[in-house]
Amino acid sequence: MVLWVFGYGSLIWKAGFDYDERVVGFIKGYTRVFNQASTDHRGTPDYPGRTVTLEPEEGAHVAGCAYRVSGYDAEQLVLSYLELREFEYDLRTFVDFFTEESPEEPVITGVLVYIGSPNRSKNRYYLGPAPLQNMASQIATARGPAGPNYEYLFRLEEALYGIGCEDEYIIELANEVRKLLGVYEDRNMGDFEDGRLQQAFEDVKLLQDYEDEKQYENYNSRKLLESFGPSLAKI
């Protein structure tokens, strides 16, 4: 048996599981948006961070990576891992996957993807859209067990750049967050290691206007996630 999984967020730079093949490409009919809450990785139940999800959009496409996992046991292990890692995402669906060499005919069909739907009755973690400034303020100030929310955004920007994708939406949001942090170096991941971005975060004092925090529950899922070892530590 063969399982293919599509990554469009943190899975691009950190799959967290063993795979047999990684293919760079894109899916059609969706757009990538920072409309999903993160309450146990890049935020908390009281102060959620923002992570990406997919929303349908005719004519759009989303770049990312497809991962091939072969064998029943390996497939079941990866699915169990992803069910915990992606527990805040309520939809599991299958999509066609294309590459630059084959933009019209899918090179892989039946690729699994996790999506946080905009249906608030089923997806309590859906934050929805917000003005750029408000979204940037939330990302600049939220943090969770896996680290600050802005690190997730910057790593996504860098990972997309690494696979040949310059997502204007991601770049615009990242630039706005950099302005709030007082950091203007573009795609300089060395900042994470010498501590300058961390210090910038500590120095930033921003007003938080996110008021709908009571709808989130503390699921205390860290113990379950930790059972998979350090692979989840920095998602």
- Give catalytic residue positions: 86
Average pLDDT of span 167-194: 75
Whether 75 is in a domain gets the answer yes
CB 106 within 8 A of CB 96: yes
Full DSSP string of 72-97: HHHHHHHHHHHHHHTTT--EEEEEEE
Query: Is residue 70 within 8 Å of 17, Cβ to Cβ?
Result: no
- Domain assignment present for residue 37? The answer is yes
Q: Is the pLDDT of residue 173 over 60?
A: yes
Report pLDDT digits (tens) over 96-107: 999 999 999 999
> Tell me, what CATH number does 18's domain have?
3.10.490.10
| Number of domains observed in the structure of the chain | 1
Does residue 233 belong to any structural domain of this protein? no
Position 227 pLDDT exceeds 70: no
Residue 230 in any domain: the answer is no
pLDDT, tens only, 206-223? 333 333 333 333 333 343
Quick one: average pLDDT of 80-99?
96
Residue 62: per-residue pLDDT: 98
Q: Is position 172 within any domain? A: yes
CB contact at 8 A, 137 and 180: yes
Mean pLDDT of 3-22: 97
**Would you say residue 192 lies in a domain?**
no
CB atoms under 10 Å from CB of 22, counted, come to: 13
In a domain, 27, yes or no: yes
Range(s) of the domain holding residue 65: 2-185+197-222
pLDDT band, very low/low/confident/very high, at 182 (cuts 50, 70, 90): confident
Dihedral sign (CA 154, 156, 157, 158): positive
Q: Within its chain, how far is the Cα of 103 from the centroid?
A: 24
pLDDT value of position 151: 97
List, for residues 117-159, the tens digit of each pLDDT value.
999 999 999 999 999 999 999 999 999 999 999 999 999 999 9
pLDDT above 80 (res 193): no
Angle at which helices 149-162 and 132-141 pack, to 10 degrees?
A: 110
Tell me how far apart the alpha carbons of residues 103 and 40 are, in angstroms, rounded to a whole number. Answer: 37
- Is 229 contained in some domain? no
